[in-house]
Amino acid sequence: MPIPKPETAKIQVPTESFKPRKPLEPSVKPLEPAVNPEEKTPETVEAPPRVWEEKHVPSSPLSRILGFGGLAAKLAVGTAAEIVRSGGKGGTYNALVSDSNVEKLAETLCTMRGAALKLGQMLSIQDEAMIPTKLAAALDRVRENAHVMPKDQLHHQLKTELGEDWRSNFQEFDDVPIAAASIGQVHRATLLNGDRVAIKIQYPGVAESIGSDLLNLKRLVTYTNILPRGLYIDEIIRVGKEELTAECDYLSEADNQERFNEFIQQSGMDGKYVVPRVYRELSTSRILTTQLISGVAIDKAVHLSQEVRNSIARRILQLTIHELFNWRFMQTDPNWSNFMYNASTDTVGLVDFGAAREYPKAFVDDYFNIVWAAANEDEKTLVDYSIKMHFLTGDESPGMMRAHIAAGMVVGEPFRSHEPFDFQKSRLTTRLGQHTGEFMHGRLTPPPQEVYSLHRKLAGAFLMCIKLRAVVPCRDVLEEVQRTYYS
């Protein structure tokens, strides 16, 4: 199902509009840096400068086909070599997921980027019990690392989108990226009026190669049997294609970002969160220019005080609940770096809205009943709505049914009591992992398509709370929504 588009009008920017212009008047005061180098406080967190590896993005159809074909050949050779080396001990599958092979897989996905990297990132959030440890480690590396474009390819993209005189729009443009992901990389720049901005630049050929990339990946997975059947790889690929197609349209992302900011403002939460302004005059379907916000990624805030970490975690949970149940519009990418904490303003900056999507009211209403049932240990309601929403068919084995109920009870645990919930001590992920084997063998139907993005975000919110070692009350956040539903 394609992601519904907000009604905000899209502004197509013609190339000829990017001529030297008078400096813009500053309309948004840049946020103060989170860290003042001359006045370090106990709340200061510093990260070492990132060192990027530059590699051209394969942009032609032939180069991408050869990339996947080369990976298949390397895996076959590596598997044969490992079987010979081990004397056949451990079997073919263990040889396939050898250290050497998973390194080749991660390296190829990082080089190809686009749909290949997106699928790797989607798989990296699966429970480790569902994916071999070595493969999970490789996919985690894929999620955290991507190569960046060399300067010649970077500048070509800027010329293509903003015109030959693209530099005339900026006082400064930093050729070294500050972030890189599956479909693009981000650079700092300063506009003529002094505004500091972040410019997201899409990799060449990514949008055009989505379908063929995913087809080649499916063939590779089918040929190698590297992933277990219970993952429903066909569904993951289908959903990945829809998500990636939407994410490649940066004007749609601009719409999402502005719409999200409206929700924040209308909810009276603008003092807790910051959504960067979009610069429409410097944005196209392949370039997105937004206000640069300061701060540190959530995973770098782990050394802050317990009080601050609790405050951040509670805001993440509160935002997630509001997105789903109040707005029915959610930013579904829980990457650590999409949430930036600014200690000097005590705000959480929110970035990257390419994966934002809307959920139908009927779906959200039914899903709330599942969450509320899990929070209140109501097994019958949990099962009834799980069947209604097609998480279950009703014909599952007793073992599968018990595993589904037990997993639901674990997920509902943070919302069960008004007392502060200790996310780290609760061992939520470990306890959920205990049921994975049953899910792999006993699941009779893939989950609803909306769930792939939704559960990625919900799992990410829990993982952020665990990472922050948060101890926070959660029940009242859900009760606020419950009063709205049943008032």
Residue pair 301/179 in contact (Cβ under 8 Å)? The answer is: no
Domain that holds residue 131: 61-146+207-238
Collapsed DSSP state (helix, strand, coil) of residue 238: helix
Is residue 20 in some structural domain?
A: no
Is residue 381 in some structural domain?
A: yes
Is residue 461 in some structural domain?
A: yes
* Helix (H) or strand (E) segment spanning residue 82: helix 61-86
Same domain, 138 and 278: no
Residue pair 324/295 in contact (Cβ under 8 Å)? The answer is: no
Same domain, 98 and 177: no
Per-residue pLDDT, 18: 35
110, burial (CB in 10 Å: exposed 0-12, middle 13-18, buried 19+): buried
Torsion angle of the four alpha carbons 270, 276, 281, 285, in this order, in degrees rounded to the nearest 10: -120
* pLDDT band per the 50, 70, 90 thresholds, residue 385: very high
Same domain, 134 and 173: no
Query: Choosing from 213, 249, 255, 333, which is the catalytic residue?
Result: 333
Same domain, 99 and 198: no
Split into its structural domains, the chain has a count of 3
Separation CA 45–CA 28 (nearest Å): 26
Is residue 399 in some structural domain?
A: yes
Same domain, 405 and 467: yes
Separation CA 161–CA 447 (nearest Å): 39
Distance of CA 456 to the CA centre of its chain: 8
Is residue 359 in some structural domain?
A: yes
Same domain, 309 and 226: no
- Within 13 Å of residue 124, how many CA atoms lie on the same side as its CB? 23
Separation CA 289–CA 197 (nearest Å): 7
Q: Please write the tens of the pLDDT for every residue from 265-299.
A: 999 888 899 999 999 999 999 999 999 999 999 98
Residue pair 466/429 in contact (Cβ under 8 Å)? The answer is: yes
Distances (CA, A) of 307 to 303, 313, 424, 428, 468: 11, 10, 15, 22, 11
Is residue 103 in some structural domain?
A: yes
Same domain, 388 and 409: yes
Separation CA 435–CA 406 (nearest Å): 8
Q: Please write the tens of the pLDDT for every residue from 291-340.
A: 999 999 998 999 999 999 999 999 999 999 999 999 999 999 888 889 99
| pTM for this predicted structure | 0.77
Distances (CA, A) of 173 to 156, 161, 176, 296: 14, 15, 9, 21
Is residue 404 in some structural domain?
A: yes
* pLDDT band per the 50, 70, 90 thresholds, residue 235: confident
Same domain, 256 and 275: yes
Among the three residues 257, 292, 327, which one is the final residue of a domain in this structure?
Answer: 292
Nearest alpha carbon to residue 252 among 35, 3, 434: 3
Same domain, 385 and 469: yes
Task: Based on the residue annotation, tell me whether 476 is a catalytic residue of this protein.
Answer: no
Only one residue has tokens 């939704």, namely 454
Same domain, 191 and 70: no
Per-residue pLDDT, 234: 79
Same domain, 322 and 253: no
Per-residue pLDDT, 458: 93
The CATH number assigned to the domain holding 197 equals 3.30.200
Specify the range with the lowest mean pLDDT, choosing from 72-81, 391-400, 410-419.
72-81
Is residue 29 in some structural domain?
A: no
Per-residue pLDDT, 34: 37
Same domain, 166 and 305: no
